[in-house]
Amino acid sequence: MRAEANNAGWYHRAVVYLLFLILLLPLAGTLLYSLATSWSATLLPSGLTFKWYVALWSEPRFLAAFGQSLLVCVGALVLSVVVILPLLFVVHYHFPRLDALMNILILLPFAVPPVVSSVGLLNLYGSGPMAMVGTPWILIGCYFTIALPFMYRAITNNLQAINLRDLMDAAQLLGASTWQAALLVVLPNLRKGLMVALLLSFSFLFGEFVFANLLVGTRYETLQVYLNNMRNSSGHFNSALVISYFAFVLVLTWVANRLNKDKT
Amino acid sequence: MSFVSVQNLQKSYAGNPVFSNIDCHIERGEFVTLLGPSGCGKSTLLRCIAGLTPVDSGQILLDGTDIVPLSPQKRGIGMVFQSYALFPNMTVEQNVAFGLRMQKVKPDERLARVREALELVELGSFAGRYPHQLSGGQCQRVALARSLVTRPRLLLLDEPLSALDARIRKHLREQIRAIQRELGLTTIFVTHDQEEALTMSDRIFLMNQGRIVQSGDAETLYTAPVDLFAAGFIGNYNLLDADTASRLLQRPVASRLAIRPESITLGLQGELDAEVRSHSLLGNVIRYRVQVREVELVVDVLNRSPADLHADGQRVSVSIDPTALREVA
């Protein structure tokens, strides 16, 4: 019996490790390539070096793209927090019936393929009174719509887990105004859902390419567009870029998880 | 002049009246219960008094002033919810202090009053805990302390015991009543549980379909139901229509008759011959179903000793106390 269980355990573990190996292999290869002096005709690279990373992190165009990506993502997320939080509050507190409509609306950014909607956006904002194609503003607005479903779903789940109406009623009877009740009682209890939503949207938006390339392109280069424009340069350099990008998102996720876990 | 008087209160949702022409008066320091089946409007009435639900028309006078135009913040009313509604992000102490923080009470006085309120509900040592670390009964006691600490003029309890298990419920029931007496706090309690209503209240308002059917103390409500609904909702009355009642009593009866099951005595010698159909043990009481003159009656007998038990099918006789017969409309 025991031997059998052990065997089964081995089998399960082997499958899991194999899966990890398959997923990590390309990443490991990229990491190794980014650290190699040169790696062409041999099985293993001929030497290890940090020069690609040094070159990358002292390249002003990369730093600019990195900063611009960060700025656009953070801008879109700030906008969505400012708009969606009050919206959610109003929907759930005053018009619970609108939730069904909202659930359909938030699917739209996913239902329309990015290539199609970017053509629409180019038409709409390419000229006329709201011409902003080629500026970061259109990207912030567009990213806002992409972040919407993530934010809405995660925070809705969180709102349903707390008893919004009774909490608001209790706070108001204790003398809090609607604003005080929302800020002191409801908002702190939405922290978890909000963090999850922000993290998810951020990692998604930080790696977004189609909208960035079509709507703005090189006029306000983001990280993914920069990577695309660099595709003909050294592969070692590009590998260093990909690994840097990956490490950044990984560290960010880890930090956010740590911050979210403080209180038990 | 009553301390609380609700006058001609109307409320409807989307054209459907929840209640209409509600009138009730509550004295200072009284503990009254709104009792009724779910959907009878009792919770809505409570929420209207709290100001959480707007009323269509009518007046609610609290200590002589109409509070209908006031926002819930300004009414000076405390409320305890069935769901506890404790703030999950705050400790027990912060929860209880919340109302005082909103009133801008100074920190040292605030602390003293929070301590006092927590001692009152016997949770002094739980000040630093979070709500999710407490049991249901403890949560509800924190909620009670939180609504008492601001010294409200009126305390509203919206089915505060319904989410708790039976043993805790009984204990907390007594604790709430003791605290209410000690503070002399005018209290309105909402429940659908007749036992809670009968044991706790000075006075009970029995509600059905948006109106107050009967009001009175527990004794009156239990022994003298005014109509069919009241007789059916409280106790386990035998309800007989006029024909059946005439057959049973062998004399003409003009209206429906309600007979309490404990006012009928079972014996081996008595007025009426009967046969035991079935019985069930409720603990201290045995509930028999007996057949008398083709009428089935429920009879409650105190469970004194196993030797007194009548088996199913046994011939017995019953006597009905004539003073316990109630004619109901």
C-alpha separations of A80 from A76, A88, A189, B171 in Å: 6, 11, 18, 49
User: Considering only residues 7 to 36 of chain B, which have any Cβ-Cβ distance to chain A shorter than 8 Å?
Assistant: none
Contact A175 B103 (CB under 8 A): yes
Give the mean pLDDT of chain B: 91
**Same-domain status, B33 and B134:** yes
Residue B265 pairs in a beta bridge with: B319
What are B19-58's pLDDT values in tens digits?
888 999 999 999 999 999 998 999 999 999 999 999 999 9
- A164 touching B (Cβ < 8 Å): no
**Same-domain status, B278 and B217:** no
**Same-domain status, B137 and B211:** yes
Give A5's pLDDT tier (boundaries 50, 70, 90): low
Ramachandran area for residue A123 (φ above 0: left; ψ -120 to 50: alpha; else beta) = alpha
Q: What is the CATH number of the domain that holds B32?
A: 3.40.50.300
Closest-CA residue in chain B for A164? B85
**Same-domain status, B223 and B262:** no
**Same-domain status, B158 and B271:** no
**Could you say which of B215, B232, B249 is where a domain stops?**
B232
Residue pair A177/B76 in contact (Cβ under 8 Å)? The answer is no
Could you tell me the two tokens for A113?
Answer: 């393929």
Interface size A-B, in CB pairs within 8 Å, comes to 62
**Same-domain status, B23 and B120:** yes
Closest-CA residue in chain B for A190? B89
Distance CA B280, CA B285 (A): 9
Q: Which of B51, B85, B89 sits opposite A170 (nearest CB)?
A: B85
Q: Is the pLDDT reported for residue B221 higher than 70?
A: yes
- B79 touching A (Cβ < 8 Å): yes
**Same-domain status, B223 and B243:** no
Distance CA A74, CA A199 (A): 11
Give the mean pLDDT of chain A: 87
**Could you say which of B232, B251, B286 is where a domain stops?**
B232
**Could you say which of B199, B215, B232 is where a domain stops?**
B232
- B99 touching A (Cβ < 8 Å): yes
**Same-domain status, B183 and B247:** no
Distance CA A49, CA A32 (A): 10
Distance CA A131, CA B163 (A): 58
> Amino acid letter at B186?
T
Q: Could you report the predicted ipTM of this complex, rounded to two decimals? A: 0.85
- CA-based nearest residue to A198, from A239, A252, A245: A252
Average pLDDT for B214-238: 90
Closest-CA residue in chain A for B151? A174
Residue A182 distance to chain B (closest CA, Å): 12
**Same-domain status, B89 and B132:** yes
Give A4's pLDDT tier (boundaries 50, 70, 90): low
pLDDT of amino acid A264: 43
Q: Which of B51, B87, B102 sits opposite A180 (nearest CB)?
A: B102
Determine the structural domain holding residue B287 and report its residue range.
Answer: 239-328
pLDDT of amino acid A2: 59
- CA-based nearest residue to B143, from B177, B97, B96: B96
What total of structural domains would you count in chain B? 2
Residue pair A184/A171 in contact (Cβ under 8 Å)? The answer is yes
Q: Is the pLDDT reported for residue B270 higher than 80?
A: no
- For B203, residues 6+ apart whose C-beta sits below 8 A from its C-beta are B26, B30, B31, B32, B33, B215, B216, B217
CATH number of A61-260: 1.10.3720.10
**Same-domain status, B116 and B201:** yes
Domain ranges of chain A: 1-49, 61-260
pLDDT of amino acid A1: 52
The model carries a pTM of 0.81
Q: Report the run of H or E that residue B298 belongs to, with start and end.
A: strand B295-302
